Amino acid sequence: MDLELSPDDLCFRDDVRALISATFPPPERFDGSRAHEDRWRQAMAAKGWAANKWPVEFGGPGWTPAQAFVWERETTAAGLPPQVGGMGMGMLAPILFAYGTPEQQARFLPAILEDRERWCQGYSEPGSGSDLASLRTRAVRDGDAYVVNGEKIWTSGAHTADWMFCLTRTSDEARPQAGITFLLIDMRAPGVAVHPIISIDGRHAFNRVTFDNVRTPLENRIGEEGRGWTYAKGLLTHERTGQAFVSLSLELLAGLKEAAAALAGPDGASLLDDPSFAARLALAEMELKALEMTELRTLWQVQAGSAPGAQSSILKLKGAEIVQRMTEFFVECAGPYAAPWFPEVAGPAPVPPVGPPWVRRELARYFEGRAASIAGGTDEIQRNIIAKHVLHL
């Protein structure tokens, strides 16, 4: 595997940088708003890069692994999402490519690509998170439709989604994994109710979603009845491959070095000059480098046509650990300022903020980073998968 960028890759990198600075001319930066997302999606679409992880036959750009790597690094370093279009773009589309009918592909993929329809993921239920195969939301066939009853929880973005890709139970007879069916459910169908869950930071990202006799046409079933577990497993490996957080950790590391270098003690030496801090940071950087190599190896294998498999659990587990360690370093740098006032939680601050300018942003990322060990399958579940499928224990 050759990790050196070729002259063509360097030209491509210049193209990417030009697109970024033309879309968000410095000092303007992407702010995460829908307006900025739209601007970024349109700029990518004009180059044919909006669905940059999709195969060519479905409108992807057909990048080499090196180009995909350059894209991910350059966009993340500039604070831009490598892709917009959320779970539809990144998680459902690969399932539609592999298991959707031509009609399903024609119906749903263009709307994902043009960001006309947003998707949420209906997997977890109360009591069925890690033990997902025990899920109980039931789908019963009735003429030309399934009638769905039950509830989902921790459904990110359900309140803004048009559709949910959902795991439902259609049979209790075989082993639990065999009786699961993958359905696409219209969030505006009668009987679907979204109940907000407000998190400790005051944000509304999660929901509980209930289904009361929701009719879902048979044509919205992916693949065969009872085979949903197989399809979902494929999708989870894609989700976890994208959760190595390498670009994010690289961005954090760069900011961290800057912040630590600027923090001078009474003797004028910076925190970066502290041998203990510098040694721990160097160790984290080496681990990040090793993770980056593993991610690249996986990327190359996926591009060559093989499924990521259990390797994606290694990426997710180590990726979460390293991103959390980077944010912990920021807490250390912040020292006595590591408990900033968050107006979203505590209301308007009574006094002007104190401490370095990055404190609020990085401390928010420290708290958010805890979710990396849970979402998409917990650390313990990744270890179980590695033990079974990699170490054959």
Question: Using CB under 6 A, which of the segments 16-24, 114-122, 190-198, 346-354 binds ligand FAD?
Answer: 114-122
Does residue 129 belong to the site contacting ligand FAD (CB under 6 A)? yes
Burial letters 71-91, b for 16+ CB under 10 A, else e: bbbbbbebebbbbbbbbbbbb
Dist CA 31 CA 78 (whole Å): 11
Q: Is it true that the peptide bond before 353 is cis, omega within 30 degrees of 0?
A: no
Which one among 52, 83, 104, 121 touches ligand FAD, defined by CB under 6 A? 121
Does residue 369 belong to the site contacting ligand FAD (CB under 6 A)? no
Nearer to ligand FAD, 210 or 384 (CB): 384
What is the nearest approach in angstroms of ligand FAD to the Cβ of residue 127? 7
Judged by CB under 6 A, the chain residues 372 through 391 that form the site for ligand FAD are: 374-375, 377-378, 380-381, 384
DSSP code per residue over 69-111 = HHHHHHHHHTT--S--SHHIIIIIHHHHHHH--HHHHHHHHHH
Does residue 123 belong to the site contacting ligand FAD (CB under 6 A)? yes
Nearer to ligand FAD, 44 or 315 (CB): 315
- Active site members: 239
| CB-count burial class (<10 Å; 0-12, 13-18, 19+) for 109 | buried
Dist CA 105 CA 93 (whole Å): 9
Nearer to ligand FAD, 153 or 252 (CB): 153
What is the nearest approach in angstroms of ligand FAD to the Cβ of residue 390? 16
Question: Using CB under 6 A, which of the segments 43-51, 65-73, 124-132, 171-179 binds ligand FAD?
Answer: 124-132
| CB-count burial class (<10 Å; 0-12, 13-18, 19+) for 384 | middle
Does residue 294 belong to the site contacting ligand FAD (CB under 6 A)? no
**Residues in a beta bridge with 361:** none
Dist CA 237 CA 128 (whole Å): 19
Dist CA 181 CA 175 (whole Å): 13
214 token code pair? 């929701």
Report the residue closest to ligand FAD, judged by CB.
Answer: 129
Judged by CB under 6 A, the chain residues 37 through 96 that form the site for ligand FAD are: none
Does residue 165 belong to the site contacting ligand FAD (CB under 6 A)? no
Does residue 124 belong to the site contacting ligand FAD (CB under 6 A)? yes
Residue 321 carries which side chain, given as an amino acid letter? Answer: E
What is the nearest approach in angstroms of ligand FAD to the Cβ of residue 195? 14
Question: Using CB under 6 A, which of the segments 40-48, 117-125, 213-221, 328-336 binds ligand FAD?
Answer: 117-125
What is the nearest approach in angstroms of ligand FAD to the Cβ of residue 203? 11
Question: Using CB under 6 A, which of the segments 120-128, 190-198, 230-238, 289-297 binds ligand FAD?
Answer: 120-128
* 3-class state of residue 205 by DSSP: strand
Judged by CB under 6 A, the chain residues 138 through 157 that form the site for ligand FAD are: 154-156
Dist CA 107 CA 369 (whole Å): 36
Does residue 137 belong to the site contacting ligand FAD (CB under 6 A)? no
Which one among 21, 130, 134, 306 touches ligand FAD, defined by CB under 6 A? 130
Nearer to ligand FAD, 145 or 375 (CB): 375
What is the nearest approach in angstroms of ligand FAD to the Cβ of residue 353? 27
82 token code pair? 């490598």
The H or E element containing residue 208 is: strand 204-217
Say if strands 145-153 and 138-142 run parallel, antiparallel, or are unpaired: antiparallel
What is the nearest approach in angstroms of ligand FAD to the Cβ of residue 13? 32
Dist CA 86 CA 91 (whole Å): 8
Binding site for ligand FAD (CB under 6 A): 120-124, 129-130, 154-156, 371, 374-375, 377-378, 380-381, 384
